Amino acid sequence: MTTTKPARRENPMSWRTGAGIAGPPWKGAVREYDLFKELTIGLVAVILLVLAASALFGSPDDKAVSLKSWAVAQPSDFVATATAELAGTSETAGYGPPYNSTPGATQTLGPIDLQTLAGVKLPIDTAQAFVLGPLSSLPTPPSGVATWKAASDAQRTAWTDAYAKALDKAKNHDPANVAAGDYGPVPALMRTLLTMAKQGSLDSVISAQGKFYNLDYTPAILFMGDGAYLNDLAAGLHLSGDQWGMMNETGNYPGQSWLWLFSFFYQIEPFASLPNADIVVVVLVAVLTLALMLVPFIPGLRSIPRVIPIHRLVWRDYYRRR
Amino acid sequence: MTAPTREQVTQHPTENEIEPFSTWTGRARRWMLKKLPPDKLLPESQPSYVASWIYVFGMGAIASLAVVIASGLVLSLNGPSWWHVSDLGHFVNSTHLWSVEFFFLFMVVHLWGKFWMAAWRGGRVLTWITGVLSFAVGIAAAFTGYLLQSNFESQWISFEAKDALNAAGIGAWFNVANLGQMFTWHIVLLPLGVGAIVALHVILVRMHGVVSPIDAAETDAQLANTKEASE
């Protein structure tokens, strides 16, 4: 006796080829269609739209800031940051990979530590790259460089700690108002570095890092980011991470509104306060993007379009004439 | 000699009618002709249900992408500083920005439209996947463009964005503060990626045709009447 398997009931929302009449080529009524004509009309319409928007709204171009503009606008912030770079206490100095191997600095997801796995690929010694290197590039380097290099680690730490505290207590945090103390060569080094920055030579020295050709602005960006100047300017333009800054643009422009979901998680708890917020948000957005990509395979999700009948609007003419 | 009729031009050769190719090239041609015959690639008709404004947004996104590429080409040929010092350069930069904005606007409407139409039905899953993928790769391409502006915004974005990329372990190869790397990503790798995925997406749309209405049935007037007429 032969038994026939009962025909499998097709889910009309399935991605499979055999799902209803969606799979085989359409055998019903057709209407005339001109692909090239539609493309040409579309292109002309978009060009006109783009030209009109460009003429009406233009595009933003806020001038780049520099170590020079920082040193001139906020010398005390510049000196405080440079002192932290020399001491190895700045954000960059303790960042971890890819800049250095500071223990415990990486963002992990349970046992997964992609940051450490990637390794220290862009090594930056903040004291050398941002302070001692540029000062040593001068025709007559300040004698304090040699004094600093000859000192023990403990002595260096004592000098920079004392100077950083004194700067913090000084009126307006101004290096000129720092009380007398045992800071070793640190104040002299900072004075010369500030002068270099104000004159504009520090920008090129830090960007070049001893080379002629350069397209890598990592050192200068990290140095500026360690201070308050760049962050304050960005916050004033609503560009900080907690101000939806990831999708905002300078001026009144739409910006990268397509990053709204990525930006959204930085605005809400518990994500906003997590010490590993970046890796958590990256993974979350990656999973959600993957879910969107795989909607056709996810029961329930793939049936939403049938339950909420927006398709009735799209094909209203078809359904009316059924 | 008389010109071939439309029926002759659009007639699909059956597998038996195509000569049995022995070379790889011949077999590839046979496979391609079978999967995407010329009248499917460049159709002169569409199913009657393809009659809504929602259908223009896919074409709008492709047209915008063409303007994005053209304006980007002009910007890249003139170098990264040109648009800061030239009024024409600034205007071309504006067209690049706005064509990107329209590209995403049209693509998002297209994507949501296709979601509500459940356009993955009937073997169109790869069309859906390539559509979402082109959106994701497009986001990366646009992001790198913001880093190439060489102004305050690119400085700030590179400082702020490095943390997520470093945490994901890709900060050294996708170093947002390295202008040279970002140029490679923005004007070579990512445009090639978007272009290739969009091309594949369009080919898949042409191969499978536009998805029929949800719950459409053989008994619907637009199918049944045509069948009756042909019988």
pLDDT tens readout for residues A229-262: 999 999 999 998 888 888 888 988 999 999 999 9
Which pLDDT score, from 0 to 100, does residue B1 have?
A: 42
Domain span at residue A322 reads 261-322
Of B136, B166, B179, the CB nearest to A98: B166
Pick the more confident residue, A124 or A20. Answer: A124
pLDDT category of residue A77 using cuts at 50, 70 and 90: very high
Least-confidence region, from A252-266, B3-17, B148-162: B3-17
Average pLDDT over residues B188-215: 96
CA distances from A145 to A127, A184, A201, B69, B143 (A): 11, 11, 18, 51, 41
Q: Which residue from A minimizes the CA distance to B158?
A: A221
Q: Which residue from B minimizes the CA distance to A307?
A: B116
Average pLDDT over residues A143-154: 95
Indicate if the pLDDT at residue B67 is higher than 60: yes
How far apart CA A165 and CA A74 sit, in angstroms, is 18
Question: How many CB atoms are located within 10 Å of the residue A149 CB?
Answer: 11
Chain-wide mean pLDDT for chain A?
92
Closest approach of chain A CAs to the CA of B204, in angstroms? 13
Indicate if the pLDDT at residue B160 is higher than 70: yes
CB contact under 8 A, A53 and B146: no
Same domain, A85 and A231: yes
Share of chain B above pLDDT 70, in %: 88
Q: List, for residues B82-129, the tens digit of each pLDDT value.
A: 999 999 999 999 999 999 999 999 999 999 999 999 999 999 999 999
Closest approach of chain B CAs to the CA of A42, in angstroms? 6
Q: A260 CB near a chain B CB, below 8 Å?
A: no
Least-confidence region, from A63-67, A157-161, A211-215, A304-308: A211-215
Same domain, A172 and A318: no
CB contact under 8 A, B63 and A97: no
Average pLDDT over residues A98-117: 93
Average pLDDT over residues A139-159: 95
Indicate if the pLDDT at residue A18 is higher than 80: no
Indicate if the pLDDT at residue A208 is higher than 50: yes
CB contact under 8 A, B178 and A62: no
Same domain, A285 and A222: no
CB contact under 8 A, B156 and A302: no
Closest approach of chain A CAs to the CA of B201, in angstroms? 13
CB pairs < 8 Å spanning A and B:
321
Which pLDDT score, from 0 to 100, does residue A19 have?
A: 62
Are B95 and A75 in contact by the 8 Å Cβ rule? The answer is no
Closest approach of chain A CAs to the CA of B85, in angstroms? 11
Beta strands per DSSP E along A121-166: none
Question: How many CB atoms are located within 10 Å of the residue A280 CB?
Answer: 17
Same domain, A177 and A87: yes
Decide: helix, strand or coil at residue B23. Answer: coil
Q: A278 CB near a chain B CB, below 8 Å?
A: yes
Note the residue count of chain B. 231
Question: How many CB atoms are located within 10 Å of the residue A157 CB?
Answer: 14
Q: Which residue from B minimizes the CA distance to A65?
A: B152
Same domain, A222 and A278: no
Same domain, A114 and A194: yes
Pick the more confident residue, A194 or A12. Answer: A194
Q: Which strand (E) or helix (H) includes residue B46? A: strand B45-47
Give the relative orientation of helices A228-236 and A218-226 as an angle to the nearest 10 degrees. 80
Average pLDDT over residues A251-277: 92
Which pLDDT score, from 0 to 100, does residue A21 have?
A: 83
Mutation for B interface: A37, A47, A50, A66, most B CBs within 10 A: A50
Same domain, A105 and A188: yes
pLDDT category of residue B223 using cuts at 50, 70 and 90: confident
Same domain, A96 and A130: yes
Which pLDDT score, from 0 to 100, does residue B14 have?
A: 54
Q: A53 CB near a chain B CB, below 8 Å?
A: yes
DSSP secondary structure, A241-277, as one string: GGGTTTT--SSS---SGGGHHHHHHTTSTTGGG-TTH
Interface pTM, i.e. ipTM: 0.91
Same domain, A207 and A157: yes
Indicate if the pLDDT at residue A82 is higher than 70: yes
Q: Give the residue among A139, A129, A105 at the shortest CA–CA distance from A276.
A: A105
Indicate if the pLDDT at residue A3 is higher than 70: no
CB contact under 8 A, A250 and B155: no
pLDDT category of residue A139 using cuts at 50, 70 and 90: very high
Same domain, A212 and A291: no
CB contact under 8 A, A26 and B209: yes
CB contact under 8 A, B48 and A319: no
Residues in A closer than 8 angstroms to B213, CB to CB, are 311, 314-315, 318-319
Indicate if the pLDDT at residue A311 is higher than 90: yes
Q: What does the DSSP 8-state code read for residue A132? A: I
Of B62, B120, B169, the CB nearest to A15: B120
How far apart CA A282 and CA A266 sit, in angstroms, is 11
Residues in A closer than 8 angstroms to B139, CB to CB, are 256, 258-259
pLDDT category of residue A13 using cuts at 50, 70 and 90: confident
Same domain, A231 and A272: no
Closest approach of chain B CAs to the CA of A147, in angstroms? 33
Residues in A closer than 8 angstroms to B89, CB to CB, are none
CB contact under 8 A, A225 and B64: no
Least-confidence region, from A16-20, B24-28, B109-113: A16-20
Indicate if the pLDDT at residue B135 is higher than 80: yes
Average pLDDT over residues A213-227: 95
Residues in A closer than 8 angstroms to B172, CB to CB, are 98, 118-119, 121-122
Domain tally, chain A: 2
The answer to the question of residue A95 being in a domain is yes
The answer to the question of residue A60 being in a domain is no
pLDDT category of residue A6 using cuts at 50, 70 and 90: low
Closest approach of chain B CAs to the CA of A130, in angstroms? 16
Average pLDDT over residues B134-160: 96
Same domain, A164 and A104: yes
Q: Give the residue among A251, A238, A289, A280 at the shortest CA–CA distance from B139.
A: A289
Q: A288 CB near a chain B CB, below 8 Å?
A: no
Tell me the pTM. 0.90
Indicate if the pLDDT at residue A173 is higher than 90: no
DSSP secondary structure, A87-118, as one string: HT-STTTT--TTT---TT-S--BTTB-HHHHH
CATH superfamily of B53-208: Cytochrome Bc1 Complex; Chain C (1.20.810.10)
The answer to the question of residue A19 being in a domain is no
